[in-house]
Amino acid sequence: MLRALRLPCPWGHLGARGCASDGTAGGCEIQVRALAGSDQGITEIVMNRPGARNALGYVFVSELQDALARLREDQHLRVLLFRSAVKGVFCAGADLKEREQMSAAEVGVFVQRLRGLMNDIAAFPAPTIAAMDGFALGGGLELALACDLRVAASTAVMGLIETTRGLLPGAGGTQRLPRCLGVALAKELIFTGRRLTGVQAHTLGLVNHAVDQNEEGDAAYHRARALAQEILPQAPIAVRLGKVAIDRGMEVDIASGMAIEGMCYAQNIPTRDRLEGMAAFREKRPPKFVGK
């Protein structure tokens, strides 16, 4: 039975949040790393399932859902970065070998769970960044699409290739890709199952940045981390509310969106950070935001 596949994954010594850096503690496929020093406030979700190229299997999805549930409550987290510990791969998409062992009913339930996972990523309160240093296919690209920002190596390969496997995107791809690129282009990419390089994806607007890959194979990660460092000094409550205003506003007409913006703005008015921002401007010094 599929339930037997789920393994307990204790949170290891990395900031009391994640598995050991070699991924061996508890057999974890998802590791959580809270960075320190000048990077404090950045937390990384590291995908580490090398034997299956980070495919979205039962254990992988369970551990990722558990990690997100824990991190949602972390008020010190300012940016969440998704990266891979498997060189040349971000996430290869569905675990088709595991999927073959499921009944039709189990497939439907599991894909619904995948859809819920992507919704959880999209609704994560802090900004999220996908560092795509390799293949991001099918569900792997859907995971990246659920993030707020995407950075890709020039050599990365990505696409919603489900139609080449007799499937269609089922974890948000048919909804998030057209919202990202427009309806006609999204239809073309999904109908053809076309694969794009990081450079092509940047040209189309699918990723925010494309960078030349380095010998270590982690150029996108370093650019994503630099982007996270740009977000870190900003007022965290204002950033989170800005995310809410954009995400919810994009789903409604502009008049309703303006009302949502107004409600978010009102929530920010009584914060200490707003007063700190004005004081810092008046005193000609950098602000020190505390998230209150």
| Catalytic sites, residue numbers | 94, 139, 142, 162
Work out the number of other CB atoms within 10 angstroms of the CB of residue 225.
20
CA distance 258 to 261: 5
- Nearest in space to 145 (alpha carbons), one of 186, 184, 105: 186
Q: What would the 3-class secondary structure string for 213-267 be?
A: CCCCCCHHHHHHHHHHHHHCCCCHHHHHHHHHHHHHHCCCCHHHHHHHHHHHHHH
Could you report how far apart the first and last alpha carbons of the chain are, in Å?
47
Position 30, amino acid: I
Partners of 8 in beta bridges? none
DSSP code for 39: G
Q: Helix or strand or coil: residue 54?
A: coil
- Nearest in space to 192 (alpha carbons), one of 157, 168, 171: 168
CA distance 132 to 128: 13
* 135, 161 Cβ separation under 8 angstroms: no
Q: How far is CA 219 from the centre of its chain?
A: 17
**Maximum alpha-carbon separation in the chain:** 66
CA distance 93 to 74: 28
